């Protein structure tokens, strides 16, 4: 119990750290939203006037203090460019990213784990070798390349799937809109599926050779029981680690995928915001991402403890 | 072949290459903003297909004999999207806001002595001296004064107006801006169209489509595949090199936007650093071979022309004055000039934005050519925001050459390099005199001579180096039709009133 | 291990070592042997498909892709190895200490969590912008800062598991000092997860450097690198796919070889602990 409390405190610290680091980074980066908005032909006076209106000319500590004061009142501020509350914008884009992430995760886990397990169960067969090769190839392909190839083939030539864009499922109630996320989810997830497959395979292989497995088999337990009950359970830790890494890289990887497929998600929002120096939006997104991230890590760590009772968090 | 029968209704889907920051046309000169925004807002004048300004919201206008008093007579019964009628007070408020904060207003506004509404439909503007390019300034689609309702204009200051205030008089009204996704416009049923024939941006505008959707699709290949797949009806800025991929497709019509072209250039820092010495700038100019530079930037020669004059041929300001110095491709001469200037191998800093692909490609070629001519080149690549910050830093400029490109603005007085506060900061006495004259004389023939003199001076003082005229490639589905037998396009920034889908 | 498996492993290992060795040789000697100057811009020859004159074709500047890929090996390897080294040097000590000492571990992991919350590209972009002028060193630091926390995490979780092992308890019971335990028992057994993580770092960091190029920052433009070439060739993926394919193949081969090497090393070093990634 005390572990949970201490951990919760730690999570809050992490989140606050993220927000502070974001603020500092933004101050250090050259350029500012006024110059970006007014464009290359603006005069210095015009830029200064706009900065004054937005309060960007006030001392850093004052800006920092104002930000936190608002933050604790639940107000994340308004996007400089979109003139909408940051939370609202994130909310609008969240749907795309959440669905994309879930579908990519399905690809990762749905392709990766079975592939790894099958390869492990039949080591050195042609199945194993071809899966291994495929996995290694997958880990070295840039996701934008895979995405573009898929787009050109399935959308451009075969006209089977939409090429880009995404219309909200929630707003229209039309589940078929998820079709737009199939190609991006695959491009995004394939690389990580390869990683998971490799990890699953090697950990399964090790476990399958262990004494207690031989014993179980000798006892006459069916293979499927052996695999599922004993082997997977013990191979799960490294798999969990890789899957949690996958989540982190899904957020990053989504940046490129969203760009390629013109998906209105959070990944492209944050890149755009950084490039445009839209400070309130950047800070808002980092906050949300940090909270999510910290929660996922916490769950991952709890899963470790659950899977391996030897790991006790003192 | 007869004119296709126009059809009412339907939705038009346009793929833009980037998302604008705001649709407040007075405060932005960007194309991404201008394309959707021009359907919403209108100005006192608009350009016809020859880039001649024609009255838009005006019934008529007159200039006093001394050229200092302008009287505008507004059309009657023109409605804003909120149902209000356009009145003189709206014009006055909009012009004043533009004068104070607009990006392209300075040259004109510094001469405005008085601006007032004489009655509901008449506005009088008094200047302290004649201002020749008046109508051009007012017609300009990149940062010119669009007319907003009085309440909106008065409340707006240096900050861009927010979406709920996008109220204009145009054929389409603002419906929705879904961040990162699209901008939606719907037909304005109360639009008051002009009676005269449509030509360019001027004349009668009919909104055939019910809805216009402008999507933001940054990936070039996605815009291309989207047109092929029919996801979009019109796509802007397709990389010229991808042209062969759509040749021969009966559903796709490529539109080569050559009228008018864009002008890729490198600005020279004239006040500090290596390039403060005019001999160095002349050396740079001498060394450059423009053909490979244009090839690298814009691909197949179908998409560009060599031209050293600021304006492209076909525009009435075109002249060959000064262009003997253009495209010398003479590294030997460059080396001589460097010796004369006493060059000692100091680094020549070139800055460019990595995500402005054509400029980046050109910068690579230029860097290579300059190296072969004896320069010690330091090529620095930044993201756009950092690049502009560095380029515009006047107090401590850290560059010698900055790469950019410019759209045609059809009056020489709007040429940015003529302003001493614009990056490059060209400000010699000869230039100042010529520009003053240019702005005061109203007779075109005389102004043309002055402009020729400026171009001669340009090629002696080299404030910037022009590489050529570049064309862009847009694609449209064959089912998209416009007035006349040809789909009329007005350069890099198309419009979609007077068009329909069959 | 079955005999067949042993032979296969041997063959794979031979392949991996062979490829890596050739790449190292290429990276050292290629500038002297390539048919064309990799930076020579011959714009009039642009976008030519592979032929006898240009084995891998030319890019949009007319540069010979074959020469660029070979010369790019050096930069790519230096980048990949430096970034991996950076992650190692910072990641391993922090991870081990954090895994072994709880209090320290909490602090370290909270900071690591905070840094890892930033999407890789964003963090690298921000750091590059702050450090000012783009350049190899700055790129290595920026991308290294993205990968070091991941290494910390891997080492941390392995250490957590390792310290519960009976032989560690036994060593402690016998009075061994913490330092001794850390080095002799724990660190030695970290080799395999660290090696595996490093191979991933190598591959992904190269992609990330390429992504930075895409956003307009990164290594100076006329330095050939596989990632840079793939990014520059993005627009031409339909028109001139050879610009991306060849550097991509080389990258895949390197990653493949590093992974095979990593696997083999893992097998040799301690087969019992391969259940920790």
Chain C, 22-41: which have a CB under 8 Å from a chain B CB?
39, 41
Predicted local distance difference test score (pLDDT) of residue B339: 93
Quick one: B195 and B265 in the same domain? no
Quick one: B68 and B132 in the same domain? yes
Task: Give residue-wise pLDDT tens across range A198-220.
Answer: 777 777 777 777 666 677 677 77
Interface test with B, best of A38, A51, A257, A269 (most B CBs within 10 A): A38
- Give percent of chain B above pLDDT 70: 97
> Closest Cα of chain C to A188: distance in Å?
14
Average pLDDT, integer, range B276-287? 94
Identity of the residue in C41, C216, C220 whose CB atom sits nearest the CB atom of B383? C216
CB contact under 8 A, A31 and B389: yes
Per-residue pLDDT at B281 exceeds 90: yes
Between the CA of residue B460 and those of A66, B319, B452, C159, what are the distances in Å?
A: 53, 16, 13, 71
- Round to whole Å and give the CA distance between B48 and B65: 26
Chain A partners within 8 Å of C115 (Cβ): 21
Specify whether the CB–CB gap between A37 and B22 falls below 8 A: yes
Per-residue pLDDT at B407 exceeds 70: yes
Average pLDDT, integer, range A60-81? 76
- Chains B, C: CB contacts within 8 A come to 83
Specify whether the CB–CB gap between B47 and B139 falls below 8 A: yes
CB contact under 8 A, B239 and C238: no
Per-residue pLDDT at A288 exceeds 70: yes
Per-residue pLDDT at B363 exceeds 70: yes
Average pLDDT, integer, range B355-382? 90
Per-residue pLDDT at A120 exceeds 70: yes
Quick one: B492 and B370 in the same domain? no
Quick one: B432 and B287 in the same domain? yes
Regarding predicted confidence, which is higher, C114 or C264? C114
Nearest chain C residue to B362, by CA: C61
SS3 for B221-249 is: HHHHHHHHHCCCCEEEEECHHHHHHCCCC
Does A16 contact B at CB distance below 8 Å?
no
Domains of chain A are 94-283 (1.10.3720.10)
Predicted local distance difference test score (pLDDT) of residue B484: 40
Per-residue pLDDT at B297 exceeds 60: yes
Chain A partners within 8 Å of C214 (Cβ): 256
Predicted local distance difference test score (pLDDT) of residue A63: 79
Task: Give residue-wise pLDDT tens across range C116-146.
Answer: 878 777 787 777 777 766 678 888 888 888 8
Identity of the residue in A14, A198, A270 whose CB atom sits nearest the CB atom of C114? A14
Quick one: B348 and B203 in the same domain? no
Predicted local distance difference test score (pLDDT) of residue A310: 63
Predicted local distance difference test score (pLDDT) of residue A33: 79
Identity of the residue in A44, A81, A164 whose CB atom sits nearest the CB atom of B231? A164
- Round to whole Å and give the CA distance between B3 and A72: 63
Average pLDDT, integer, range A282-302? 80
- Give percent of chain C above pLDDT 70: 80
Nearest chain A residue to B98, by CA: A46
CB contact under 8 A, C117 and A31: no
Predicted local distance difference test score (pLDDT) of residue B492: 55
Most confident by average pLDDT, A123-127, A265-269, B215-219, C211-215: B215-219
Give B309's pLDDT tier (boundaries 50, 70, 90). very high
Place of tokens 């503007």: B125
Per-residue pLDDT at C115 exceeds 90: no
> Which of A117-121, B294-298, C71-75 shows the lowest per-residue confidence on average (mean pLDDT)?
A117-121
For residue B177, give the H/E element and its range.
strand B172-178
Per-residue pLDDT at B101 exceeds 70: yes
Give B93's pLDDT tier (boundaries 50, 70, 90). very high
CB contact under 8 A, A140 and C256: yes
- Give percent of chain B above pLDDT 90: 49
Task: Give residue-wise pLDDT tens across range B416-465.
Answer: 888 888 888 999 999 999 998 888 888 889 999 999 999 999 999 999 99
> Closest Cα of chain C to A288: distance in Å?
10
Regarding predicted confidence, which is higher, B312 or A226? B312
CB contact under 8 A, B365 and C43: yes
Interface test with B, best of A156, A179, A181, A280 (most B CBs within 10 A): A156
Chain C, 212-271: which have a CB under 8 Å from a chain A CB?
214-215, 230, 234, 237-238, 244, 248, 251-252, 254-256, 259, 263, 266, 271
Quick one: B414 and B354 in the same domain? yes
Nearest chain A residue to B405, by CA: A40
Predicted local distance difference test score (pLDDT) of residue B95: 92
Average pLDDT, integer, range B473-485? 77
> DSSP string covering A245-256, please?
HHHHHHHHHHHH
Quick one: B301 and B179 in the same domain? no
Give B212's pLDDT tier (boundaries 50, 70, 90). very high
CB contact under 8 A, C218 and B379: no
Chain B partners within 8 Å of A148 (Cβ): 219, 221
Interface test with A, best of B180, B388, B396, B407 (most A CBs within 10 A): B180
Identity of the residue in A50, A260, A277 whose CB atom sits nearest the CB atom of B158? A50
Chain C partners within 8 Å of B364 (Cβ): 41, 61, 221-222
> Closest Cα of chain A to C55: distance in Å?
22
Per-residue pLDDT at C46 exceeds 50: yes
Give B125's pLDDT tier (boundaries 50, 70, 90). very high
Task: Give residue-wise pLDDT tens across range C137-195.
Answer: 888 888 888 889 888 988 887 787 777 776 677 777 777 676 666 666 677 777 777 87
Query: Which candidate, B472, B473, B469, B491, places its Cα nearest to that of B306?
Result: B469
Per-residue pLDDT at B11 exceeds 80: yes
Quick one: B202 and B306 in the same domain? no
Per-residue pLDDT at C82 exceeds 80: yes
Predicted local distance difference test score (pLDDT) of residue B485: 35
Q: Which domain holds residue B129?
A: 11-216+479-501
Predicted local distance difference test score (pLDDT) of residue C136: 80
Chain C partners within 8 Å of A142 (Cβ): 207, 210, 230, 248
> Closest Cα of chain C to B354: distance in Å?
4
> What mean pLDDT value characterizes chain A?
77
Quick one: B194 and B338 in the same domain? no
CB contact under 8 A, B101 and A162: no
CB contact under 8 A, B103 and A42: yes
**So what's the ipTM on this one?**
0.72
Interface test with C, best of A112, A153, A231, A238 (most C CBs within 10 A): A238
Predicted local distance difference test score (pLDDT) of residue B70: 92
Chain C partners within 8 Å of B380 (Cβ): 133-134
Chains that touch B (3 or more CB pairs under 8 A): A, C
Quick one: B322 and B453 in the same domain? yes
Count how many domains chain B has.
2
Predicted local distance difference test score (pLDDT) of residue A278: 83
Quick one: B172 and B55 in the same domain? yes
Average pLDDT, integer, range B21-34? 82
- Give percent of chain A above pLDDT 90: 0
Per-residue pLDDT at C28 exceeds 80: yes
SS3 for chain C is: CCHHHHHHHHHHHHHHHHHHHHHHHHHHHHHHHCCCCCCCCCHHHCCCCCCCCCCCCECCCCCEHHHHHHHHHHHHHHHHHHHHHHHHHHHHHHHHHHHHCHHHHHHHHHHHHHHHCCCHHHHHHHHHHHHCCCCHHHHHHHHHHHHHHHHHHHHHHHHHHHCCCHHHHHHHHCCCCHHHHHHHHHHHHCHHHHHHHHHHHHHHHHHHHHHHHHCCCCCCCCCCCHHHHHHHCHHHCCCCCHHHHHHHHHHHHHHHHHHHHHHHHHHHHCHHHCCCC
> Which of A127-141, B344-358, C59-73 shows the lowest per-residue confidence on average (mean pLDDT)?
A127-141
Average pLDDT, integer, range B325-350? 93
Between the CA of residue C130 and those of A29, A280, C79, C127, C133, what are the distances in Å?
A: 5, 19, 20, 5, 9
Does C157 contact A at CB distance below 8 Å?
yes
Place of tokens 């007070």: B89
Chain B partners within 8 Å of A84 (Cβ): 163, 179
Does A162 contact B at CB distance below 8 Å?
yes
Is the domain C3-274 a CATH 3.40.1350.10 member? no
The reply to whether B202 falls in a domain is: yes
Quick one: B43 and B125 in the same domain? yes
Query: Which candidate, B73, B446, B496, B464, places its Cα nearest to that of B270?
Result: B464
Most confident by average pLDDT, A43-57, A121-135, B323-337, C122-136: B323-337
> Closest Cα of chain B to A193: distance in Å?
25
The reply to whether B339 falls in a domain is: yes
Interface test with B, best of A32, A34, A41 (most B CBs within 10 A): A41
Identity of the residue in C46, C61, C238 whose CB atom sits nearest the CB atom of B242? C238
Chain A partners within 8 Å of C263 (Cβ): 202
Per-residue pLDDT at B377 exceeds 50: yes
The CATH number for B145's domain is 3.40.190.10
Nearest chain C residue to A266, by CA: C119
CB contact under 8 A, B224 and C220: no
């Amino acid at each position: 119990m005390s572990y949970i409390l201490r951990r919760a405190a730690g999570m809050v610290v992490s989140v606050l750290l993220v927000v502070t680091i974001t603020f500092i980074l933004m101050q250090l980066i050259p350029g500012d939203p006024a110059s970006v908005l007014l464009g290359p032909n603006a005069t210095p006076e015009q830029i200064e006037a706009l900065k004054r209106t937005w309060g960007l000319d006030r001392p850093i500590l004052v800006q920092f203090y104002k930000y936190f004061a608002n933050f604790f009142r639940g107000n994340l501020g308004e996007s400089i460019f979109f003139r909408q509350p940051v939370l609202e914008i994130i909310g609008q884009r969240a749907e795309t990213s959440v669905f994309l992430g879930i579908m990519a995760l399905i690809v990762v886990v749905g392709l990766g784990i079975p592939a790894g397990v099958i390869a492990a169960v039949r080591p050195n067969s042609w199945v194993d070798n071809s899966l291994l090769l495929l996995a290694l190839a997958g880990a070295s392909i840039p996701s934008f390349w895979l995405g573009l190839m898929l787009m050109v083939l399935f959308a451009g030539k075969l006209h089977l799937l939409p090429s880009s864009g995404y219309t909200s499922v929630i707003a229209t109630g039309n589940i078929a809109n998820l079709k737009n996320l199939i190609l991006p989810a695959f491009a995004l997830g394939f690389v990580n599926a390869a990683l998971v497959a490799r990890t699953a395979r090697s950990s399964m292989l090790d476990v399958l050779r262990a004494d207690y497995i031989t014993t179980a088999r000798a006892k006459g337990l069916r293979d499927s029981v052996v695999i599922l009950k004993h082997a997977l359970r013990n191979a799960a830790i490294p798999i969990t680690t890789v899957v949690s890494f996958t989540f982190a890289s899904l957020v990053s990887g989504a940046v490129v995928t969203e760009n390629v497929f013109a998906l209105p998600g959070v990944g492209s929002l944050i890149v755009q915001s950084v490039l445009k120096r839209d400070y309130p939006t950047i800070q808002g997104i980092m906050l949300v991402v940090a909270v999510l991230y910290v929660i996922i890590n916490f769950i991952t760590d709890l899963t470790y403890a659950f899977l391996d009772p030897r790991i006790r968090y003192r | 072949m007869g004119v296709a029968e126009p059809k009412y209704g339907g939705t038009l889907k346009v793929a833009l290459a980037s998302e604008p920051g705001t649709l407040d046309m007075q405060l932005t000169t960007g194309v991404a903003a201008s394309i959707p925004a021009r359907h919403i807002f209108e100005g006192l004048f608009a350009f016809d297909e020859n880039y001649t300004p024609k009255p838009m919201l005006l019934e008529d206008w007159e200039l006093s004999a001394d050229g200092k008093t302008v009287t505008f007579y507004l059309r009657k019964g023109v409605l804003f999207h909120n149902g209000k009628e356009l009145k003189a007070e709206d014009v006055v408020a909009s012009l004043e806001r533009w004068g104070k904060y607009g990006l392209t207003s300075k040259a004109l506004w510094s001469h405005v002595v008085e601006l007032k509404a004489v009655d509901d439909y008449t506005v009088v503007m008094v200047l302290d001296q004649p201002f020749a390019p008046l109508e051009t300034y007012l017609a300009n689609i990149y940062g010119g004064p669009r007319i907003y309702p009085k309440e909106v204009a008065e409340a707006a200051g240096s900050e861009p107006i927010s979406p709920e205030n996008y109220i204009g008089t145009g054929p389409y009204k603002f419906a929705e801006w879904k961040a990162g996704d699209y901008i939606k416009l719907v037909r304005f049923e109360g639009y008051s169209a002009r009676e005269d024939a449509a030509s360019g941006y001027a004349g009668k505008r009919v909104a055939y489509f019910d809805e216009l959707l402008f999507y933001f699709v940054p990936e070039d290949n996605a815009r291309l595949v989207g047109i092929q797949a029919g996801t979009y009806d019109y796509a802007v800025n397709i990389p010229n090199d991808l042209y062969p991929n759509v040749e021969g497709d009966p559903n796709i019509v490529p539109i080569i936007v050559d009228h008018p072209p864009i002008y890729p250039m490198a600005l020279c820092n004239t006040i500090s650093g290596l390039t403060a010495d005019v001999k160095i700038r002349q050396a740079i100019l001498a060394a450059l071979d423009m053909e490979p530079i244009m090839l690298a930037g814009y691909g197949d020669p179908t998409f560009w022309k060599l031209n050293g004059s600021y304006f492209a041929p076909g525009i009435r300001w075109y002249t060959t004055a000064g262009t003997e110095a253009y495209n010398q491709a003479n590294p030997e001469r460059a080396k001589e000039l460097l010796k004369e200037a006493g060059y000692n191998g100091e680094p020549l800093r070139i800055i460019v934005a990595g995500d402005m692909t054509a400029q980046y490609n050109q910068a690579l070629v230029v860097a290579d050519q300059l190296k072969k001519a004896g320069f010690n080149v330091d090529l620095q690549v930044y993201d756009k925001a950092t690049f502009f910050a560095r380029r515009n830093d006047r107090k401590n400029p850290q560059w010698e050459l900055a790469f950019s490109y410019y759209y045609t603005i059809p009056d020489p007085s709007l040429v940015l390099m003529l302003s001493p506060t614009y990056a490059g900061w060209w400000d010699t006495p000869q230039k100042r005199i010529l520009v003053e004259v240019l702005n005061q004389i109203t007779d075109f023939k005389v102004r043309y001579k002055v402009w020729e003199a400026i171009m001669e001076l340009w090629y002696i003082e080299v404030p910037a180096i022009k590489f050529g005229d570049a064309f862009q490639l847009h694609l449209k589905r064959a089912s998209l039709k416009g007035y006349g037998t040809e789909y009329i396009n007005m350069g890099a920034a198309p419009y979609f009133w007077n068009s329909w889908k069959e | 291990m079955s005999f067949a498996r042993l032979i296969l492993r041997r063959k794979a290992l031979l392949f991996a070592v062979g490829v890596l060795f050739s790449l190292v040789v290429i990276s050292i000697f290629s500038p002297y042997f390539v048919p064309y100057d990799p930076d020579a811009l011959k714009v009039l020859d642009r976008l030519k498909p592979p032929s006898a004159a240009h084995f891998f074709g030319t890019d949009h500047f007319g540069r010979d892709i074959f020469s660029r890929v070979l010369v790019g090996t050096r930069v790519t390897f230096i980048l990949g190895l430096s970034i991996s080294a950076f992650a190692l040097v910072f990641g391993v000590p922090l991870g081990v200490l954090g895994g072994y000492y709880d209090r320290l571990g909490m602090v370290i992991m909270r900071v690591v969590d905070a840094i890892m919350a930033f999407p890789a590209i964003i963090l690298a972009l921000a750091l590059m912008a702050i450090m000012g002028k783009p350049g190899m060193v700055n790129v290595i630091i920026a991308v290294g800062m993205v990968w070091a926390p991941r290494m910390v995490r891997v080492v941390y979780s392995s250490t957590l598991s390792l310290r519960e092992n009976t032989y560690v308890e036994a060593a402690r019971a016998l009075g061994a000092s913490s330092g001794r335990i850390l080095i002799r028992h724990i660190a030695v057994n970290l080799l395999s997860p660290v090696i595996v993580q490093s191979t991933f770092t190598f591959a992904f960091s190269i992609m990330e450097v390429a992504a930075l190029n895409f956003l307009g920052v990164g290594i100076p433009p006329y330095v050939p690198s596989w990632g840079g070439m793939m990014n520059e060739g993005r627009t031409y993926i339909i028109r001139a796919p050879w610009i991306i394919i060849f550097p991509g193949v080389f990258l895949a081969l390197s990653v493949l070889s590093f992974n095979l090497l990593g696997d083999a090393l893992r097998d040799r070093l301690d087969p019992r602990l391969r259940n920790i990634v």
